[in-house]
Amino acid sequence: MEASEEWRSKAGPWVRGTMPDGQQLDLVITGWTRTADGQWWCEAEAILPTRWEDAEGRSRPMGAPTPITLPADDVDPIPDEEYALVPRDGAIAGRQWVLERLQCATRRSVCSGEDRSGLRRQRHASQC
């Protein structure tokens, strides 16, 4: 495994986001947020190029995580990525998320795990 592949496997889970201009970019998903109007948003980090300078003044290019937010409809799962532990609505340490998920699952089967990726389910979560 190359160093770039090893780094990528440790930084996930990854999703594919479609930018407003139609370009697609792989992103590290950090959470889901549901706004007061019921819309779901993907909180993510784009790894963008930047310059890093060491103490002796030598510089080199590297990737830097840059926070971005996309509507859930503009985000697609990437095969073989695991999304079950991605926080929703800002849940910390999974406790609030588990409670919300259990309540949601009892109301509608669409939230109970028909789509185990957790991504496409977000698009229909307003039905819960």
Tell me what pLDDT residue 91 has. Answer: 45
| pLDDT at residue 75 tops 50 | yes
d(CA 67, CA 102) in angstroms, rounded, equals 29
Distances (CA, A) of 83 to 7, 42, 66, 95: 18, 12, 20, 16
Sheet holding 40-53, edge to edge: 59-71, 40-53, 24-34, 14-18, 75-77
**Residue 88 DSSP SS3:** strand
The whole-number pLDDT of residue 119 equals 57
Q: State how beta strands 59-71 and 40-53 pair.
A: antiparallel
Closest by alpha carbon to 127, among 105, 96, 102, 94?
Answer: 105
Q: What pLDDT was estimated at residue 38?
A: 83
pLDDT value of position 69:
96
Question: Given pLDDT bands bounded at 50, 70 and 90, which one contains residue 36?
Answer: confident
Q: In the chain, what percentage of residues exceed pLDDT 70?
A: 64
Give me the chain's average pLDDT, please: 76
Range picked from 1-5, 25-29, 104-108 for highest mean pLDDT: 25-29
